[in-house]
A and B are shown apart, each in its own frame.
Chain A
Amino acid sequence: MGGGAEVLERSVHQLVPNLAFGDAISQQALTLRRILRALGARSEIFAEHVDAQLHGEARPYRQLRDEARDGTVALYHFSIGSEVTDLYRLLPNPRILVYHNITPPEFFRGVNAEVARLCARGREELRALRAHCTLALADSEFNRQELAALGFEHTAVLPILLDPERYRVRPVRRLERPYRDGHVNFLHVGRLVPNKRIEDVLKVFYFYRRRINPDSRLFLVGIDTDMEIYSVALRQMIHDLGLSGVAFAGRVSQRELVTYYRLAHVYLCMSEHEGFCVPLVEAMHFGVPIIAYAAGAVPETLGDAGALVLRKDFAEIAELAAMVCEDPTLREALAARGRARAREFLPEAVTPLLERLLGSV
């Protein structure tokens, strides 16, 4: 990990509004802290809210004000409007904004007005932060271009890291046994939020299960906190379609998550707005063939490692899923490409870039 002398002598602290279990941004903060400490830097996470499961992993965010001295690097993970932004503005340079994208508020119309308001506020705050950062990092080129369009001067891409240690856990047998039964398992991982267009995942699965292979099921792994109206709407669509075989897994442990990836035959993503899409990298890591709609940062994250949907023709996508499941050559080729692509997000691939970027501020 050479070339990071500047990093070793510094404190590099991270600021996040929420440190939540299973959340991609929180996981990125934890992985970065581990890497920064391995590089010799003093590194802490400061957060406004901390999940009970991550108790002790972060300090109250207001303490960063006293901690930040000359030369201390503050990384602010930004994805929604919050009180934390006010504190970040008061910190001395060098300050690095890490932009994870903000979902356009329109997606939350008819689902949660408060979340829509926070997203709109986040976009306002983002504009105002142009004058408050030495460097603006984005976890994809898609996000970086948004920053550049808003007038951020110094921008760069630092992708989200895949920490392989987190996935070296035993699968959960009580989950694995009943679902490894010869049925085809579709998988979608991620919060039940409208921008992910899970209704479109349901439509693809409808054509597959109803007209191609009834011995199949769809796992929807992810929580619906604050998105309960959307969650109910999805269940009503399932009811109206007369569709069975859909399992809402909700919040899962890391071992359960790994089990779902191991059970999956195909990963389906119909999202229309993604700043990065961590589940794609996870699916690639596990060699699960991916069918994903080309929106936001999805084509960039996926690279050449999956089937990229250009137009939502649900019956045709279902047929493609069938081919991916039935054709071992196609399936193996996609899995191999996925594994190779996932390696590009491993710490050993990303750390030199992190060191260079930190050395530049």
Chain B
Amino acid sequence: MIGTDALTKYYDTHPAVREVSLFVPEGETCALVGPNGAGKTTLLKMLAGLLRPTSGKIEVGGVEVGIHPKRLHRIVGYVPDTFGLYDELKVWQFLEYFARAQGVEAERVERRIAAVLELTGLAEKRDARAGALSRGMRQRLVIAKTLLHAPKVLLLDEPASGLDPHARIELRDLIRELGALGTTLVVSSHILTELADFCTSVVIMERGRVRSSGRIDELVRELSGGTPVRVETLDAEGAARARAYLAGREGVSRIEATGERVDCTFVGDREGLAALHRELVARVEGVVSFYERRLTVEDVFLASNDGRGRERRAPEGAGKESSL
């Protein structure tokens, strides 16, 4: 759906994006992760046809970016990190303007507006002025206007930036819903936990380059070398015992104990994992739970950092925002 080939963008002598080649398949929800200044916004702007690359090619939905911008904008929606609204307009007027500007047929405009208002949970605010909406609602209104022409690809740049926890949860649900509808999503953020719940693939950027990219589970397996497993115990002593047992067990590596938890990586098939579970419960006292840990973007990031990132638990700049 989205493909780039040796995409490069320089601002004067400063390389913002360097030789980025990636592919995001249709229907994927892709997390674009990296510290501030990694080149995420520049990359998204180029994908949206808002910025001309210095070199390289981009193709979105079969349309080569830079040659047919209008054809591109027909299939792409972009929500920028900072934006303004026409505060004097009512919500329906705002959406009507964009519906007509985006070429929605006249007889479908009203229905389309009702649908996106419903989807974004703004139906009650239909007659409110855009200027009177809260930050979270403004964000949802912009997403609503972006969805009016039913884009196949939606690019969201730091969508949760500046939102309160409640609004973030709502936004997360909305993005998950959009993903379920089959829209290809690229969501950028420097806060990993924002993206952890709903992204199926990830692109990790640093200093303008892609450090790693692909489906999250595959990446974790590839980078961590197996299945991440978490064991929870009654107390820290139990965790220490479990750690000691796992350290001597074949097929288990990268063991880390934190309080009453032990994280490790198991290399083997599902039957081997079941056997490990049985053995652990039988031989170590105080095991409360044993489960295959859910893979998140954060794991990928940390795994791709090869331990370096574990020391800080999050990429640079993460401290600026509170996590969900």
Do chains A and B interact in one complex?
Answer: no
Binding site for B on A (CB under 8 A): none
